[in-house]
Structure 1
């Protein structure tokens, strides 16, 4: 037994007080040294400005014109929300599991810290002893990352000491956060920044990803599962480790019972429930208008670069700044476009497979006497393979060892490929094939590009760039350029009328027209364009009949008068941007490569009284707080007269209304002309049927599409299957049927074209106006030159 003398006892007490005070003083000095980075040893702290405006990477969101979320751009998929948008089940589970004393402490909880330390010393499970870090400390760590290089001083690189300094900074920041924000704000900072795995950040994105729900709709067991994942999102991934994740969820439920958020009866009820996921990960491949989002992203990035240059204090970033981007796309019309295009492409693909049954479709034409036969293009797949990234990677690995490269290209591997009818809503299936086999598979697929635009303001309302963005990212609306065939003819007719060579009353004879060597830049031998059927009727046709029936010889006669150079000038004024228009007579058959984007834009001037309005895809961009950063406005220019534009509409109505018009099925089969509706249209088909086009115009909507193989060597062999009226027009017809049936889209209702004031054409005693079809004059000149002058 130890017997302390009174004087000795007082000495021990004094020493204890002295050491305690010295310890407290040392702790205070240490905290101050860390706070102010004494002698630059401890590394910096986040600034007061950063503390008042904590930053986290926020996804930029893209919205439709009718305010539907179209998609996101992000490096971390995160969308912040307010606490009012979160289910109480989530907050209860979080408090019970992570910080039961959250509302009582000021950022640091000594009791929890002591419990955690004692738990480690006695080797107790963390779920029972609790964690030492409060929610506020974890929030500080998530927001400011005190362990990053720029905040780490010389002492931060010392093992163990660096960890202690980083923890100290988190404690200091936690106290400061508590002073600057309410408990609810701190909790939401945590819930909006924490990771749930699968590149999912924040409770809103997690609820959407794992349960396809909004966060306010999460039930008890769903909230418990998500909160349980926070301990280790990889270890407790419910898609990979169902049993382990269920056990962890039940630990959270047990904690909720412990802290009286659940009764014992409720706990046992929820504990025995199975995991029910509705998993759908968000990425650039999913969601509506994926091709559109990919294309418009580059426009937004250019604008952001310009904005940052003009505003030196700005630091906008598409992937982290939480911008709100409002587009011209209409979610209803986009849905109808995607449905119509996919329905058409399924049908065309079925016909294409049957057409080429037992043969490869990559062919080249060969003349045998008067007949054209198609032979398989030798080495086609190998040439395509050499352009792939896979081949280029193997080239880097194996150098000039072609045998090794092709051996790997022929090695089967597991992969997913696009199909039109996959499991559930997925248009893909798991398979095993080699790289070369996958090229053969995809080269048998037809593709498409569709765009719909309001000619009054240039708003792009729908955009379908292909059949599946995940597997085929090349956009066939703006990125792709193909020969437009006869859809280019309206620019030739327009030039001829505007130059005074013909009027809407003129007649032209369907007869051969020859361009001699050197004539109008014809660099080859003498050339005589033929009609699609290879015949000449020698009939005198009105311009409306000729354009409606797409007579090649009439286009040839018109371009012989106007010259190709003049047609190109008009096409560029109307909105065609391509520099690949040939300045020679072949232009009359649409041999210059153009995009769907350009064609729809140019055709809009016909429907808009001669006013060209450039396509608009963006309406406005705001910052994450809703402050408008940029408002976009239409770019319009009068390029032809309103009368001339209406005359062109009258001519193009011939495709629908004239006997033998190439689009008359719109009237007879699809019943789109009912109720006085007027449609101007033009079909297009290129040589060998490599490209099928359709352009359709109504009073307030202009839409166009292309259908064909990604390579020109891939196509149908007959005009019955390969023409624009068969391959492309059905998609436009189905799209318009859906729009006309939607009572919320009355602004695009069926109606006639509106004629300019006092518009009429005198055709020698006969008139054309908005209510009367053209009746040709009684006397038709026989001489071609007289007709064309």
Structure 2
């Protein structure tokens, strides 16, 4: 009979074997189940997975970049602000920061980190997660991130594992790292590392330093929480965690870590919103240009390029530094000019308008109301005119512009229309005469609030800036010299001549007459009588023909002698192009903004070919430029040459007037319209022509006298501030040399022997500090 103890031991052994068999069966079943689940996931049973084509060519909207001549991305068009970079564009410390913080075994696993996964299961995620960089890429790039319950989260995790292993088979580690940096949303319209580095630090990824790289890598944990704009303290702490991880894994030394953790955050937020950043007006012009270009240049398959998603690269002629200097110059001067304009309007009961009746003011405001977006939108929505007008007179919360920053206020839309009418506007364009390349373009004072572009679209009366075209015609056709003299007496062109219905007898500003004036001094001091005599000699049509060759739109310029004093309406774009002819030896080069356009693969889709034409001889161009130099040497532009200590009668103290003191050759011309509504200055050095316009939106909003309303006061300071900054930047190579002199010069330009009978000192305002 068997021993009970032996039976018991035998039963225990059998039970152990049975349990072991059950364990291995369950384990095998579990493995098979897991394999089955992964197999089902790979077949798409739990939701579609990307196929091989989409893995090889992941389709994502790519931003179109606007790139300056000096290689800066100055703007983008996008649905998603994503611009891909290559692995070579990523500095090593940026990659090291990511690996140290997110996946230290990245180069060892094949998409799924077994050790990390086991640790996450055993400690329920308390000692770190298990997601690898490849899994995070899979989650970001190919799967729906919204999981509403535990089951869905589990299925999504399985799909991430499947996709991660596929990614590892198809891509190198470097390609996976690059894709991850390119796809992540860093917020504030920064999708991908290229956008993020530019938006948060105003530099390309390759230019990031270690602590900046740590900031951006730190955002991978949770960009909403670690948003540099909203949580600088949290971002600093997270950056320091990344630096500690880099030290822990010996990517940096402890000493380096300590020194970098002590640094401030130094975020340089540079938004890439359509309404913000530099070059807002010119970017909007480029948008319109690109839409027209896309319609005329379809893809090989016949579809149209989408400038918001096809990742085009638009290489422009703009210089980002000069663009920034131009905007700074406009802001610097216009803030001061606006203060003076506001001061003078304090006693104006019809402010900001002058010389108009109340009925005329009402007409101006009603017209602005009917041109507004609000009116169009309400009309489109089916609102009656009475309902729309009522809404314009109902107070509402709004954010309005001020030079001190936007203001939140309660105001009726009609009051806001009048409020915006009080702001003086400005525009500026700068180009290289020899190539036509536009270097800077400022269409207004603030694109967000004043969207109308006064460079390319806005036509304004040009005043005396038109006179050089009359002089150039006389020089070209009659071989006249700057030294030739004419009597400074009133000149009348009779009825019938040029189709005049009444005699035309222009008057000089200030009413000064008498003596003989050289052409140089007459143009320098903008003497109307001399210009009248010249256009009577050459006739209006040859002058119009001349500016037409310079691409000025002459359709609405009548063949009458009064055009000599600047009655035509012309755009700043046209004026800068026309003036450049005089600096380019008589050859007109059409202003150009787009150098070339490339697709996302670097294939050139468009290459600019300069458009040029001979307009006048090199001698005529040189002599005209010589005449224009007289404006800055002894005329209305003389303030460019000196620092005036002028007495401020309001504060009873001496203040600095125009601290420019240029000593190089400058050809220029001021322009002022009859009621001081428009002030112009056109200024040139041999390799840069720049035009500036200043005025109100409505011509009835203007200074009351020429002391402040003249181009020398309103526009010239912007040119001077801009040029000072350009000359201070030696990398720009802005010329200080003489204008190119023809080898054979038959026209005398040395006018020292001539005398003038009117003072050449410009009238200087005594109550305004520029």
Question: TM-score with structure 2 length normalisation?
Answer: 0.79
Structure 2: how far apart are the matches of 1:399 and 1:165?
51
Matched, 1:289 2:287: no
Partner of 2:549: 573
Matched, 1:413 2:397: yes
Q: Output one character per residue of 1:14-33: Cα deviation in whole Å (capped at 9) or x when no partner.
A: 98799679758855864664
Which deviates more from structure 2 when the two are superposed, residues 438-447 or residues 506-515?
Answer: 506-515
Secondary structure (helix, strand or coil) at the match of 2:695 reads strand
Partner of 1:718: 705
Q: Output one character per residue of 1:369-422: Cα deviation in whole Å (capped at 9) or x when no partner.
A: xxxx99983454343233222343445568226367545654142525231xx4
Which deviates more from structure 2 when the two are superposed, residues 72-81 or residues 255-264?
Answer: 255-264
**1:477-556 → structure 2 map (5 Å cutoff):** 477-500=455-478, 507-514=485-492, 519-522=497-500, 525-533=501-509, 535=511, 537=513, 539-556=515-532
Q: Say which of 743, 746, 758 aligns to 2:744.
A: 758
**1:141-220 → structure 2 map (5 Å cutoff):** 141-144=139-142, 170-210=160-200
Matched, 1:327 2:319: no
What's the offset of the Cα at 1:138? Answer: 3.0
Secondary structure (helix, strand or coil) at the match of 1:696 reads strand
Q: How many residues align?
A: 730
Q: Output one character per residue of 1:566-591: Cα deviation in whole Å (capped at 9) or x when no partner.
A: 32222110231353323334322222
Partner of 1:685: 672
Structure 2: how far apart are the matches of 1:361 and 1:574?
39
Q: Is the 8 A contact 1:410 1:434 kept in 2?
A: yes
Which deviates more from structure 2 when the two are superposed, residues 558-567 or residues 596-605?
Answer: 558-567
Q: Closer, same or farther in 2 for the Cα pair 1:521/1:502, shift >3 Å? A: farther
Which deviates more from structure 2 when the two are superposed, residues 342-351 or residues 691-700?
Answer: 342-351
Q: Closer, same or farther in 2 for the Cα pair 1:667/1:322, shift >3 Å? A: same
Partner of 2:370: 386
**1:322-361 → structure 2 map (5 Å cutoff):** 322-359=311-348, 360-361=350-351
Q: Closer, same or farther in 2 for the Cα pair 1:314/1:179, shift >3 Å? A: farther
What's the offset of the Cα at 1:720? Answer: 1.6
Q: Output one character per residue of 1:508-542: Cα deviation in whole Å (capped at 9) or x when no partner.
A: 444444556665344xx525243243636254433
Partner of 2:425: 447
Q: Is the 8 A contact 2:636 2:712 kept in 1?
A: yes
Q: Is the 8 A contact 1:458 1:614 kept in 2?
A: yes
Partner of 2:587: 611
Which deviates more from structure 2 when the two are superposed, residues 224-233 or residues 471-480?
Answer: 224-233
What's the offset of the Cα at 1:716? Answer: 0.8
Which deviates more from structure 2 when the two are superposed, residues 677-686 or residues 332-341?
Answer: 332-341
Q: Say which of 700, 708, 724 aligns to 2:687.
A: 700
Which deviates more from structure 2 when the two are superposed, residues 402-411 or residues 541-550?
Answer: 402-411
Q: Output one character per residue of 1:713-750: Cα deviation in whole Å (capped at 9) or x when no partner.
A: 11111112111122212222333344445444445124
Q: Is the 8 A contact 1:455 1:608 kept in 2?
A: yes
Partner of 1:52: 56
**1:370-381 → structure 2 map (5 Å cutoff):** 377-381=361-365
Q: Is the 8 A contact 2:322 2:726 kept in 1?
A: yes
Structure 2: how far apart are the matches of 1:364 and 1:289?
33
Q: Output one character per residue of 1:23-74: Cα deviation in whole Å (capped at 9) or x when no partner.
A: 588558646644xx9xxx97674443x4334454444443433334434443
Structure 1: how far apart are the matches of 2:41 and 2:62?
32
Q: Is the 8 A contact 1:31 1:168 kept in 2?
A: yes
Q: Closer, same or farther in 2 for the Cα pair 1:255/1:315, shift >3 Å? A: farther
Structure 2: how far apart are the matches of 1:188 and 1:628?
25
Q: Is the 8 A contact 1:361 1:376 kept in 2?
A: no
Q: Closer, same or farther in 2 for the Cα pair 1:630/1:164, shift >3 Å? A: farther
Secondary structure (helix, strand or coil) at the match of 1:544 reads helix
Q: Is the 8 A contact 1:529 1:552 kept in 2?
A: no
**1:245-264 → structure 2 map (5 Å cutoff):** none
Matched, 1:597 2:567: no
Q: Closer, same or farther in 2 for the Cα pair 1:653/1:454, shift >3 Å? A: same
What's the offset of the Cα at 1:88? Answer: 7.0
Structure 1: how far apart are the matches of 2:679 and 2:332?
16
Q: Closer, same or farther in 2 for the Cα pair 1:395/1:187, shift >3 Å? A: same
Q: Say which of 353, 367, 371 aligns to 1:363.
A: 353
Q: Is the 8 A contact 2:271 2:277 kept in 1?
A: no
Partner of 1:781: none
Which deviates more from structure 2 when the two are superposed, residues 323-332 or residues 185-194?
Answer: 323-332
Q: Is the 8 A contact 2:90 2:206 kept in 1?
A: yes
What's the offset of the Cα at 1:275? Answer: 7.9
Secondary structure (helix, strand or coil) at the match of 1:195 reads coil
Structure 1: how far apart are the matches of 2:98 and 2:317?
40
What's the offset of the Cα at 1:172? Answer: 4.3
Structure 2: how far apart are the matches of 1:395 and 1:314?
34
Structure 2: how far apart are the matches of 1:714 and 1:728?
16
Q: Output one character per residue of 1:293-334: Cα deviation in whole Å (capped at 9) or x when no partner.
A: 33234334444554544x449985444444444332334433
Q: CA RMSD in A?
A: 4.7
Q: Is the 8 A contact 2:395 2:410 kept in 1?
A: no
Q: Closer, same or farther in 2 for the Cα pair 1:100/1:448, shift >3 Å? A: same
Q: Is the 8 A contact 2:75 2:283 kept in 1?
A: yes
Secondary structure (helix, strand or coil) at the match of 2:460 reads coil
Structure 2: how far apart are the matches of 1:352 and 1:54?
56
Q: Closer, same or farther in 2 for the Cα pair 1:500/1:280, shift >3 Å? A: closer
Partner of 2:383: 399
Which deviates more from structure 2 when the two are superposed, residues 2-11 or residues 680-689?
Answer: 2-11
Q: Say which of 622, 643, 650 aligns to 1:646.
A: 622
Secondary structure (helix, strand or coil) at the match of 1:689 reads coil
Which deviates more from structure 2 when the two are superposed, residues 181-190 or residues 609-618?
Answer: 181-190
Structure 2: how far apart are the matches of 1:680 and 1:574?
18
Which deviates more from structure 2 when the two are superposed, residues 531-540 or residues 550-559?
Answer: 531-540
Partner of 2:68: 64
Partner of 2:5: none
Structure 1: how far apart are the matches of 2:545 and 2:661?
34
Q: Output one character per residue of 1:729-784: Cα deviation in whole Å (capped at 9) or x when no partner.
A: 22223333444454444451242x332122123xxxxxx14xx227569xxxxxxx
Q: Is the 8 A contact 2:685 2:736 kept in 1?
A: no
Structure 2: how far apart are the matches of 1:220 and 1:560?
71
Question: What stretches of structure 2 of length at least 5 have no aligned partner?
Answer: 1-7, 644-657, 756-770
Matched, 1:139 2:126: no
Q: Closer, same or farther in 2 for the Cα pair 1:321/1:446, shift >3 Å? A: same
Structure 2: how far apart are the matches of 1:259 and 1:613?
59
Structure 2: how far apart are the matches of 1:62 and 1:308?
20
What's the offset of the Cα at 1:85? Answer: 6.0
Q: Closer, same or farther in 2 for the Cα pair 1:96/1:314, shift >3 Å? A: farther
Question: What stretches of structure 1 of length at least 5 have no aligned partner?
Answer: 149-158, 367-372, 762-767, 778-789
Q: Is the 8 A contact 2:426 2:444 kept in 1?
A: yes
